Amino acid sequence: MGTPKLDKRTRSSPLLAVDAVIHDSEYGVVFVRRRYPPYQGYWALPGGMVEYGETVETAFTREVKEETGLDVEPHGLVGVFSDPSRDPRGHVVSIVFHAVIVGGILLASSDALEVKWFSKPPRQLAFDHQIILDASRAVLRGEDRKTG
């Protein structure tokens, strides 16, 4: 199946993506270093495009496994991020979940150059992932927060 093209000139509706906040009180948050543009070499939360016919939950577990080697399950919604300018390739709406690790070994693969835990977010974050991290912290603290 493959990921749909992100050509702004030919798309008439947004694409759908998923992202994961994998948080551990001891280690921090998992980030992947992007292998490909946009934001090549920048750090990002694990995630990617939902394929046609796939549920967001299935896409979530697939994308995290492909990029991090970890087996995860969604554990609560962080939010829906829909700012049309959040992805330079075009309008992409991301559904973001917190993740619980249920297996696997942290190992970069697929679209990731590197994967690791960060106790503080890395400097070069891709997309709107700082906004997502802020929303995640608010959700974990039990605050009501508007998503983007």
- Domains recognised in the chain with CATH numbers: 15-140 (3.90.79.10)
Cα four-point dihedral sign 36, 42, 47, 50: negative
Q: pLDDT tens across 53-80, in order?
A: 999 999 999 999 999 999 999 999 999 9
Q: pLDDT tens across 106-148, in order?
A: 999 878 999 999 999 999 999 999 999 999 999 999 986 655 6
H-state helical runs in 7-114:
56-68
What are the residue numbers of the active site? 114
Is residue 138 a contact partner of residue 78, using CB atoms and an 8 Å limit? no
